[in-house]
A and B are shown apart, each in its own frame.
Chain A
Amino acid sequence: MAHRFDDQEMRNRVSLFFDKALSKEDEQSFLSDVNQDPNFTKLFNQEKSAREFIRNNVRRPSVSPDLIQNIRNTYRH
């Protein structure tokens, strides 16, 4: 009989997966569990969206060519 995960357990596993903290074997087993349980799939997609949103929308100020040149000059002297 397949193991049923409670909500907290699912959340922990989803976090570990997206944090790249699962072994290859655990990752495969995790993805298989996600595909078999609609609630797990839903949680997985929510977390994926949240992570992507944060990563894609955080402000990333540009680096000026002057800064790069100043740093290069440090290395050349």
Chain B
Amino acid sequence: MSRPIKTQSDEVFESELLPHIDALKTFAFHLSYDEDDANDLVQETYMKAHRFIDKYEQGTNAKAWLFKILKNAYINEYRKKSKRPTRVDFEDIVSYHDSDDSKVPGYLDLREEIFSNMMGDEVTIAINALPIDFRTVVLLCDVEGFTYEEISKIIDVPIGTVRSRLFRARNMLKEKLKKYADKLGYKDMRGKPIGKKSASEEE
């Protein structure tokens, strides 16, 4: 019995594209909120990658390339049928630049000991509650470890916008996680100097 001949495209698929399937599924799941839609998105991503494999340069950033395809597929196919409101572009409402970061009280003292008392689901719920543009940058940067430059290319926005979205997204995320911290008696240290203890801590 003869084996099918392995083409260069097959090799690229196995060695460079397929290893990112888990990360793509996670990203797709948090965009669509639905396991079946996430599977469809991942499958469509690989179909498009296959169709445009000649555009991919072997040995370059396959993960970023696949994420960009998935993000575009989501925008084109899935966002319009999503049941949940997904887009609140705060940048349309608030003119927000990197230089303004210092004006936002952005420090929530979330120490290590509090995390050990949290369930993982709380993180997922908090991320999924973020508006889509903010959720996307948190997933790409904090979950997948992409750089600002890579994220900028994946979502087609300037690096400054990536940074400002990340800054706001992290604040929103910490705000959402704060309620769990409050339940455990944790102190909100925003606006207080680093290292300064509250009165109750000093007692």
Contacts and interface: CB of A to CB of B under 8 A. Distances in A.
Interface string B64-93: 000000000000000000000000000000
B64 to A, nearest CB: 14
Interface in A59-77: 59-64, 67-68, 70-72, 74-76
A12 B101 contact: yes
A61 B38 contact: yes
A57 B110 CA distance: 15
B148 A21 contact: yes
A2 interface: no
A61 B193 contact: no
Contacts of A34: none
A58 B123 contact: yes
Given A7-B107, A43-B194, A46-B111, 12 more contacts: A12-B102, A19-B141, A20-B145, A20-B147, A54-B142, A57-B123, A62-B25, A68-B18, A70-B43, A75-B13, A75-B46, A75-B50
Interface residues of B, number: 51
Identify whether the interface residues of B are mostly helix, strand, loop, or mixed. Answer: helix
B185 interface: no
Contacts of B201: none
A40 B145 CA distance: 23
Contacts of A7: 107, 193-194
A51 B102 contact: no
B173 interface: yes
A16 to B, nearest CB: 9
B156 interface: no
A71 B52 CA distance: 15
Interface in B26-46: 26, 29-30, 35, 38-39, 42-43, 46
Contacts of A21: 147-148
A47 B5 CA distance: 50
Given A43-B194, A50-B174, A75-B9, A61 B43 contact: no
A24 interface: no
A67 B138 CA distance: 26
A59 B4 CA distance: 37
Contacts of A40: 194
A57 B30 CA distance: 13
